[in-house]
Amino acid sequence: MTDTVTDAVTDAGPDDVHLIGVVGCGQMGSGIAEVCARAGFEVVVTETGPAAAEAGRARIQASLGRARDRGKITDQERDKALSLITVTADFDRLADRDLVIEAVAEDEAHKLAVFTRLDATVRRRDAILATNTSSIPVIRLATATSRPDHVIGLHFFNPVPVLSLVELVPSLATDPETEARATRFATGALGKEVIRARDRAGFIVNALLIPYLLSATRMLESGLATVQDIDRGMVLGCAYPLGPLALADLIGLDTVKAIAESMYAEFRDPQHSPPPLLARMVEAGHLGRKTGRGFHSYG
């Protein structure tokens, strides 16, 4: 990008969000990049290295292909979205972004390092620096920057192209205008439904969901019921689309464990403590759908 274009972006008004950055191209980052591109935004996604970047782009291509096959988008819309996405290992490509969404693994130290680096890299001082964290208080990440008033939580849900919800989480330091701009982006530009959560571990959805998933894990661990009966019971008895153990597999057992640990650290409530079975499965690499094996097996 030329210096002229970069200067124009840097001087743009506070509602001129045109250039989007995403840090991380895993399940969540790839989905966020996809919905932004499908909304017409030019998106740069950064990954840790060339191989990870290539895998991330393949993930986006596969998701757009599924959307095309299901009739959700046309061939032309798929190709247009792909043309708007750059996946790279060059973190400096985020320098000219108006909005950057961090979507790395649910690890506080990792996220803090990302925000420290974003603060040094993103040139536009009123750029929104957002986190897709599932559970970590936003203020902890905001204080890793020199601009905590421009940091906010934008928590998308998996799969991002399918689920319409975004949790908007302002911290005590978030400027009201940052919150307003983030809301307009999520609702107006992306067409998502926004709910507002206070800045406490777990926010709204996971504060309700994680104890349920952990309770199902403890039920299995204690031998009270099988995986199949636990999941069938909640699908057929409560009309849930997925049973709790299948849902944990979809989220990723490592992510479930990380969210539970964050909530337990904040509230010290035993219902938030990860059961030993969950810890052992994560240690074994049985993380759910993304590894082909969790509470269920995936061919």
Instruction: Convert the pLDDT of each residue in 127-186 to its tens digit.
Output: 999 999 999 999 999 999 999 999 999 999 999 999 999 999 999 999 999 999 999 999
% pLDDT > 90, the chain = 94
Q: So where are the chain's domains?
A: 3-196, 209-291
What pLDDT, on a 0 to 100 scale, did the predictor assign at position 9?
34
This prediction has a pTM of 0.89
What is the fold of 209-291? Answer: N-(1-d-carboxylethyl)-l-norvaline Dehydrogenase; domain 2 (1.10.1040)
Average pLDDT, the chain: 94
Q: What is the pLDDT of residue 186?
A: 97
Do residues 24 and 54 lie in contact, with contact meaning Cβ atoms separated by under 8 Å? no
3-196 and 209-291, same CATH topology: no
In which band, very low, low, confident or very high, does the pLDDT at 97 lie, cut at 50, 70 and 90? very high
- 205 class by beta-carbon count within 10 Å (0-12 exposed, 13-18 middle, 19+ buried): middle
Q: Mind telling me the catalytic residues?
A: 134, 155, 167, 206
CA angle 119, 124, 125 (to 5 degrees): 65
3-state secondary structure 190-234: CCCEEEECCCCCCCCHHHHHHHHHHHHHHHHHCCCCCHHHHHHHH
Q: Is 41 helix (H, G, I), strand (E, B) or coil?
A: coil
User: Residue 16: pLDDT band by 50, 70, 90 thresholds?
Assistant: confident
The torsion angle over the Cα atoms of residues 135, 166, 28 and 199, rounded to 10 degrees, is -20
Q: Supply the pLDDT for residue 299.
A: 83
- Residue 14 has a pLDDT of 41
Superfamily of domain 3-196: NAD(P)-binding Rossmann-like Domain (3.40.50.720)
Q: Supply 41's token pair.
A: 């935004």
pLDDT of residue 6: 35
Average pLDDT over residues 271-298: 97
Mean pLDDT for 42-46 is 98
In whole angstroms, what is the distance from residue 262 CA to residue 256 CA? 10
Give Cα 197 distance to the centre of its chain: 16
Q: Report the pLDDT value the prediction gives residue 4, as an integer from 0 to 100.
A: 30
pLDDT for res 15: 59
**Quick check: 237 and 248 in contact, CB under 8 A?**
no
Whether 7 has a pLDDT exceeding 90, the answer reads no
